[in-house]
Structure 1
């Protein structure tokens, strides 16, 4: 494979913030940050053969096991964003990854960190990925290991108290 995301984070096509995604504060509702991140994952999955037809072909799919979102800067109706995907760690059944939503002007609007599981739907149960998909993620993991890890990754949640 020669896709550039094998050596750098995947970057989705541009996505426009829709009017129905705006909350009463006049900016993107928190739920739609997750929608945009998920659409970015869907685009990558399609690229590597893990897309919508994967379940029908194989009886396997992916589930999100955990996801932490960090809101950094608000976005508004009509803004254009792209989602990244960077592999942090993995084994044959799961992937630890991070994502960023990049605004059309180049700044990061949000960051997310997640755990994805490969699932055999006959159980359902966690199951090994097929060799070709596993190899793609291993190639990404090896290359992404040289990239900087965003500061939000692994950050605990809590109230900051003054000393």
Structure 2
């Protein structure tokens, strides 16, 4: 797509700059609308290309298992193995010291979790949905009534 500049003399522009500023602004807006559409089309084509490449990988290597399904089963786990599931790891830690109060930072450090914000969200879920942990008014977590169910 080519853009033809208007055939306007500099003298005409200098005699009525307001008129030409408005004209050029409207043409600029029109080109932005077209550019937006091309951007949408390009992104769509790139997404299709990514999916096509992924499909080709699946054809050759098979569809990958769900990440949680790739973890070894409990029977295959060796003594002392660290559970890969975050909830199980947190509950195992809390179950080891049921009376201990943990800050988010303490749990993150002990389990090697870098994203404390994500961990806090998970912990709150374990409190409210799973009842695996308890949380006090100082935002400290401890073993909850169902911690043993998830610690294994």
TM-score (ref. length: structure 1)? 0.23
* More strand by percentage: 1
Q: Name the larger-Rg structure.
A: 2
Structure with the bigger RCO (C-alpha within 8 Å, sep 6+) is: 1
* More helix by percentage: 2
